[in-house]
Structure 1
Amino acid sequence: MCLGNVHAANVPVGFADRLIATGLNSPTSMTILPDGRVLVVQQNGIIRTIKNDALLPGNFYAVPNVDSFSERGCLGITADPGFATNHYLYIYCTVKEGATSHNRIFRVTESNDVAVPGSEQLILRLPNVPAGVQWHMGGALRFGPDGKLYVAVGGQEDLREPVETSNSQNLANPFGKILRLNPDGTVPPDNPYINTAGAYSYNYNLGLRNPFAFDIQPGTGLMYINDVGAGTWEEINRGQPAVNYGWPAYEGDNNDPRYTNAVFSYSHTTGCAITGGAFYNPLNTQFPASFTGKYLFADFCNGTIRTLDPANPTVAADFVSDIANPVNLAVAADGSVYYLARNQNVGDSADVGSVSKIVFTNSQVPRITQSPQSRTVFLGDPITFTVAATDATSIQWQRNGVAIPGATSTSYTIPQTTAADNQAIYTAVTTNSFGTATSAPAVLTITSNRFPVPSITTPAAGAGFNAGDTVTYSGTATDAEDGTLPASAFTWRIDFMHDTHSHPFMAETTGQSSGSVIVPGFEADAPNTWFRLYLTVKDAAGQAETVFRDVYPFGQLSELNPVGTPRNGEGPIELNMNNGEAAAGDGSTISLGRIPYAKGIGVHAPSDIRYDLGGTCTGHFLADVGIDDIAQGAGSVAFQVLLDGQVAFDSGVMRGTDLRKTVKLSIAGVKELRLLVNDGGDGNTLDIANWAGARVSGCPVPTPAPPPSTTPPTTPSTETPNPSPLGAGGGGCSMRPDGTFDPTLPGLILAALASVVWRRRKSVR
């Protein structure tokens, strides 16, 4: 059992990544105070203090009446420019008020590492969150050199609305905007829309989707806004008064003079959600001079921090990689860079968030990229500790500071643990010609208490859903010592999954063995979506175990019978995998732009598939199309969709280097859906094409008919997978059965089968 899947980041030579704090519950933001203390905001409203790089045991503050449903919650914090004398802190949270919720900015006063009781002062109450909206709250806060408080507010729309009716384009509300206000909450008289009839007077600019983070450069006042995109582009926008950034008309660059282009944007081939951002202008420069003035930004999905030069913002430079879900960045006065990671991309519990910092050491000693993790195992079970380091020429494992004879590889295994191993401390010393580096210590705890065994009963394996359905969840759990566990031992959670990232939906709910929830229409236009239901049970001794089940929307074409035998350029069409060679079932996971799909149809040009819809559907046909990554940039094809014999979609020639295209077509009353793929005119070598995530909505719920080639390329075990760098140690923390970690493809194997229930062991809490 592990204390959290904290994976050391990959940093350049001369830098070091140091873990500062773990055990944080869904952290969202942080601020560094002038004296070096770090305040970390959790989505649930609990604010923690890090002092001298150690997490203090108590809370700084617990915000009352927080609504942390889905992406609501406490999302931003910043210190007053005069903090050294007034000790003011400003916080952005979603709070409940009767039957409604709203976001508000309020101020508290700090004293002796906690908020002064009764010091909370309301600064600005925003309008109620629109009914039913769960995502895109924004929340970042920064002070500008003008002394004004700037606030990022999300569009507070779950779906892409028409331009004419969208929140982001409506000056009468604060949604999808940057706001500008005086520190006391009053309106600055020089705000850009102060004299615009009907405008929300705090608005500074508009046309943003979900400005999750932004920063203002010390000295220059340059503002960069990280706007999380929808299906294709992520943006960094220059914050200016009275400009319109174009959402929902556009994401990425456009040639429309009504809208201001981003200073930098990148496609979803290199990430999917831009999060933390910070200018590197510390009081004391620690990094090399080339970093000064650069903008650092993180991507939640591919786990990177990159740098952008404001003087030439055309190309971003790689800096740090292999971070598990970074959400926030901050530059300390001493020049180190702190980052906040949620570490939740592969089914972790809520309490695995972490704070780390990057420092410049100017040393070429080995760099520890993966320390062994503290573990709890049953007496007599085996345990494996793993370390990873770059530039190491030798490794020596130690037990309680004493070298273990023969333990000189990247992993160390105890075949059978004994009582004498309890509380033993294991470290790995890595060496090269420049010196040594020692891993963080891992404590081994031996228990005679067996882990509980949870099981999800409903939704059943293979079940589906439609938006608006009421989904019932239930489960059972037994324990070797306690027998059948009561409802008080159960905790449930639901996340919505989209491509390679997740969105919280139902927060952790404890004390019931069953319940129900109405499934919203989140990302209803995106083919690659599903929800993941987690069940964690805890026995009387505190041992916990988690299982989860993936549930996909109804109407997956891979579960419907085509008319006759489809035509395909090489072997049969493949279901829920790409097209391999001539044999059925010889494909691998569908992947477009390094984004994996558990559902879809893999073909090889020329291909022709027909489905009889019977004229009974009222919704849409959805799919992402493109050449599979397995072609490594080769191949050229053209996709067509015919509805009752009429061409409704034509992709044109797509090559292996092209971005995926999303198809959304109304199929109301359509009788025949026909999917064609032809070669691009240069032969069909490596024309490995995907109808990724292909499904129909608004159709009568089908009875799935299992076809002959549904066997996935790898059948994962229902037991604890093998260890991986993401959760090192002896089984139980890894969520990848292949023993590898690739932050650009989180959940690649996990998403392979909705019918598999995966298990991982959690830490004792």
Structure 2
Amino acid sequence: MLDVLRMLEPHRMTRVADEVGMNRRASAWVAIGLSLLIGQAHASADIKTLARDLEHPWAMAFVTDSEVLVTERPGRLLYLDLASGTRTPVTGVPTVDARGQGGLLDIELHPDFADNRLVYLTWAGQCEGGNATHLGRGRLTNDQQLADFETLFIATPCVRSTKHFGSRIQFDDGGHVLFTTGDRGERDRAQDLSDHNGSVIRLNDDGSIPEDNPFVGQNEAEPAIFSYGHRNPQGAAQHPETGAVWIHEHGPQGGDEINIPQPGENFGWPETTYGREYWGPEIAPDNKPGTIQPLHHWTPSIAPSGMAFHNGELYVGALAKVHLARLTLDGHQVVNEERLLQDRGWRIRAVERSPDDRLFVLTDQPNGRLVRVIPQAR
């Protein structure tokens, strides 16, 4: 069996091991060991650095093909003109709690931005009892101000922690805003429906609760929750063909996941996971009845952050394994995976597609970069 598995690509090993009678966890560890033997597929890409000296940039949103808004985790929002190279600080940004993993996080434009100029932000902000992931919006003016900025939602309860805020924002086809929250480093929160943490939150664009949210009218469940059992999701993107919102989330020691949030569904953390405790022991079985299995998982962890669909493939940034993953899909199934930019040593925090269908990444460094990436054809 070992000789057969050696000849296969790493992404196919788990499936073959299952077919020869191993359980899911054993097959995952076979995949780990043999991937180390045969290596990961690597691919080449051309790059062009368009901005430097960004302080821990976290997210970007393209206003035009050559103008982009970039968040920096310490609490700044920049307006970058890629054609001229100028950058302008945007005023009116909320005060953030920039400790640990906290600070100014994601940014997303309203689907009707061309008409209403609304910009959405998530951030770690202080609140009674600690801090929390916040969602708010303001109107971008011609002089780069977020006018009339308002906080739309706070993921309660507030927690005294600097970990696992999430948080990515994505609109769906119905104009609802979805954003992710982490479990704040207190894993049982992700299974508590009276707690917003460890969930995907779904709201109307004004911050109100949609009437068709799955837990509306249920006692002891927060009506803003769309799906739950998530550990720390830091990637979200809308599939260009199906319109479905995809997310990915950090596992512990292994078990990073790609998922498609579904209304009312439990994605398992921490009651089921492919990851292990950082000191080694198993956390939970990897396939608990009543929970949703991931579409794809990484074991060992790559620490995914940021994701975008581009030219029919899915691109995911990796913080720990310092690369850009290019995933080839067959429907919902990942059929091939390659690693780009691994020789650069960059922690890739965000991945975005511009309106003119070019691919960009942000590197998470004190002197981070905004980089255009042109993946070479196979």
TM interval, shorter chain, is 0.7 to 0.9
Q: 1:21 to 1:220 in 2, by over 3 A?
A: same
User: In 2, distance between residues paired with 1:326 and 1:184?
Assistant: 31
Structure with larger Rg: 1
Is the contact made by 2:190 and 2:269 (CA closer than 8 Å) also made in structure 1? Answer: yes
Please say if residues 279 and 295 of structure 1, whose CA atoms lie closer than 8 Å, have aligned partners that are also in contact: yes
Aligned amino acid, residue 249 of structure 2? D
Q: How far did residue 40 of structure 1 move?
A: 0.8
TM-score after normalising by structure 1? 0.40
Partners in 2 of 1:257 and 1:64 — Cα distance?
Answer: 42
Match of 1:327 in 2: 349
1:318 alignment counterpart: 338
Count matched residues.
324
| Alpha-carbon distance in 1 for matches of 2:84, 2:194 | 45
Aligned positions of 1:286-435 closer than 5 A: 292-308=311-327, 309-311=329-331, 313-322=333-342, 323=344, 324-343=346-365, 350=366, 352-359=367-374
Superposed CA offset, 1:47-71 (max 9, x none) = 1122135553330236343111111
Amino acid at match of 2:370: V
Counterpart AA for 1:135? K
Q: Which amino acid aligns with 2:215?
A: Y
SS of the residue corresponding to residue 67 of structure 1 reads coil
Q: CA deviation at 1:218?
A: 2.9
Alignment of 1:709-724 (within 5 A): none
Distance 2:216 2:51 in 1: 44
Contact 1:236 / 1:262 at 8 angstroms: preserved in 2? Answer: yes
Change (3 A) 1:307 1:193: same
Question: Do 2:129 and 2:159's aligned partners in 1 also have CA atoms closer than 8 Å?
Answer: no
Q: TM-score, normalised by structure 2?
A: 0.80
Aligned counterpart, 1:46: 76
Q: Note the 1:16-95 alignment, pairs <5 A.
A: 16-53=46-83, 55-61=85-91, 63-95=93-125
Contact 1:45 1:62 in 2 (8 A): no
Give % identity.
22
Deviations 1:588-630 (A, max 9, x none): xxxxxxxxxxxxxxxxxxxxxxxxxxxxxxxxxxxxxxxxxxx
CA offset digits 1:360-411 (Å, max 9, x no partner): 688xxxxxxxxxxxxxxxxxxxxxxxxxxxxxxxxxxxxxxxxxxxxxxxxx
Q: 1:312 offset after TM fit, Å?
A: 5.3
Paired with 1:58 and 1:157, the residues of 2 have a C-alpha distance of 35
Measured after TM superposition, the shift of residue 45 of structure 1 is: 1.4
Instruction: Give 1:192 deviation, angstroms.
Output: 0.9
Do 1:103 and 1:128's aligned partners in 2 also have CA atoms closer than 8 Å?
A: no
Higher percent of residues as strand: 1
Deviations 1:292-330 (A, max 9, x none): 322211211112222331515244421512241001100
Match of 1:156 in 2: 184
Query: Which structure shows the bigger proportion of residues in helix conformation?
Result: 2
- Secondary structure in 1 matching 2:74: coil
Q: How far 1:353 moved relative to its partner?
A: 1.1
Q: In structure 2, what residue type is equivalent to 1:327?
A: R
**Deviations 1:1-20 (CA, angstroms, capped at 9, x unpaired):** xxxxxxxxxx956x420001
Contact 2:124-2:133 at 8 Å conserved across structures: yes
C-alpha RMSD of the superposition: 2.3
Paired residue for 1:142? 170
Give, as a single letter, the amino acid of the residue that structure 2 aligns with 1:96: Q
Structure 1 position 248, deviation (Å): 0.8
Pairs within 5 Å for 1:168-187:
168-187=190-209
**Structure 1 residues 174 and 54, CA, compared in 2 at 3 Å: closer, same or farther?**
farther
C-alpha distance after superposition, 1:164-211 (max 9, x if no partner): xx1000111111000100000110000111132121111000000000
Q: Give CA-to-partner distance per residue, 1:221-264, whole Å, 9 cap, x none.
A: 22221110111221111221111111012223833212111000
Report if aligned partners of 2:189, 2:195 keep a CA contact under 8 Å in 1.
Answer: yes
The secondary structure found in structure 1 opposite 2:191 is: coil
1:34 touches 1:84 (CA, 8 Å); kept in 2? no
Secondary structure of residue in 2 paired with 1:276:
strand
User: Which structure 2 segments of 5+ residues have no match?
Assistant: 1-41, 275-284
Q: What's 1:274 paired with?
A: 304
Contact preservation (8 Å) 2:71, 2:106: yes
* Distance (Å, rounded) in 1 between the aligned partners of 2:83 and 2:320: 27
Contact 2:272 2:288 (8 Å CA) reproduced: no
Unaligned residue ranges in structure 1 (runs of 5+): 1-10, 281-291, 344-349, 363-765
Deviation >4 Å, runs of 4+ = none
